[in-house]
Amino acid sequence: MPFSVTNQRNNTSFSTNENETILNAALRDNRVYPYGCRSGVCGACKSDLISGRVDYGEYEDFALSDVEKAQGKALLCQAIPLEDVVIDVQEIMTGANIQIKMLPCRVGKIKRLAEDVIQLFLTLPKTQEFSFIAGQYVDIILKDGQRRSFSVANLPEQALEQGLELHIRHVADGHFTPRVFDSMKERDLLRFEGPFGTYFLQSEADKPIIMIAGGTGFSPIKGLFEQAAAQNPNQNIHLFWGARDEQDLYMNDLVKQWLETYPNLKYTPVLSDSTADDWKGDTGFVHEIVSKTFDDFGNYDVYASGPPIMIDSVRDSLLEKGLNQDRFFFDSFEFAKPA
C-alpha cells in the first residue's frame, strides 16, 4: 500500500508506491534531494528520519553505521517506508526541467585516451529531448538488465553536437568495459537512462573553488570546470588531479590549454606510483597534497570526484582544517563487481 513521506524542512509531502524507496518516489514527484550512487555506497543521500518505520535496505556499513541508524539516519536511496514517515532533508531543486528518461543511442566517436581509458561519445536521438546538468551521470542499460554508471564529461550544449562524453576505464573481468575496449564500434546501438545525481555546480561567482579528481573522477570535474568557466571566466579555481602515474593524467594537455585561457585557474597533478625520474610534480596521495596547500578551507567550496576511500580521506582531512561540511560536494564511485 502507498505511504506518505513528509519533508519537515519545507513542509512538503508525496506518496510512495509499494516497495518503492523514498528517493525514487521523490524523483517521481519531481523533488530532488542530495544523492549519488543510488546503491547504498556513497552516503550522499543520508538524511534524518524523524518519525515512522522503514526497511533500511541493503547498503555498505561505511555509508550508514549502526550508530548513525540509532541517531535516526537513513539512506533515502535504500529506505522503503513501512508506514507514513517524516524526514528532514534539503530539497536542492525541483526536477521539472530535468526529467529522467530511458533512451536509445548510438556509439559515436571512440578514442583511446590512455592504456586503460577510453573516451566514448553517445549520439543522442534527434527525435527526443534530453536535458542534464554538468556533473550528472547516466546508466548504460545492458542486455541482461544490469546497469553501469558513467559521469557525463561535457556540457549539455556540447552534447547536442558531440553526443554524451563518457570516460571509461577498463575493468579486468568486467561485464561491460571489455566490450568497449575490444569489440565496440561506431554506430553500435545502446540504451541509457538518466540523468542522475546531484553533483553539479552550486557555487557563487565570487566563491573560490577547489576541485579534486581521482583517476577517471576527472570526468565530472571536466564538466563542472567548463560550466564554471562559461559562467564566470574569472572564477578562482584550484584543480588537483590524483593519478597513479603520468599516463593516467589522460587529459593533461586539455588542462594545460585551460591554464593558458583562464588566468585564475591553478593546477596541481599528483602521482601516487610514479617511478619516472623526470617527474617534477607532487607525489603521494592527493588528499595529503590538498591539505598541505591551504591553511584554512573555511572560505572554499570543494568538489571531489573519485573512489570512496579518496572521498572519505579528502572529507576527513579538510574538515579538520575548517571546511564547511555544507560546502563539500562529492561524487563517490567504485567499479561494479564482476557478474
pLDDT, position 92: 84
Number of Cβ within 10 Å of residue 151's Cβ equals 29
Report residue 102: phi and psi, to 5°. Answer: -105, 120
The structure's pTM equals: 0.89
* Closest C-alpha among 100, 223, 201, 221 to residue 155: 223
CA distance 296 to 26: 37
Interhelix angle 252-261/218-231, nearest 10 degrees: 20
CA distance 152 to 154: 6
CA distance 2 to 19: 9
CA distance 286 to 142: 34
pLDDT, position 334: 66
DSSP 8-state assignment for residue 217 = G
Q: Residue 229: which H helix or E strand, with range?
A: helix 218-231
CA distance 168 to 192: 15
Q: Is the distance from CB of 93 to CB of 32 less than 8 angstroms?
A: yes
pLDDT, position 99: 86
Cell of 84: 507514513
Complete domains list, the chain, with CATH: 3-94 (3.10.20.30), 101-196 (2.40.30.10), 209-332 (3.40.50.80)
pLDDT along the chain (339 residues), means of 10: 94 96 93 91 94 96 94 97 97 73 96 97 93 95 95 96 96 91 96 95 94 97 97 96 96 98 97 83 96 97 96 96 96 63
Number of Cβ within 10 Å of residue 131's Cβ equals 12
What is the CA angle 255-37-309, rounded to 5? Answer: 65
Q: Is the distance from CB of 212 to CB of 314 less than 8 angstroms?
A: yes
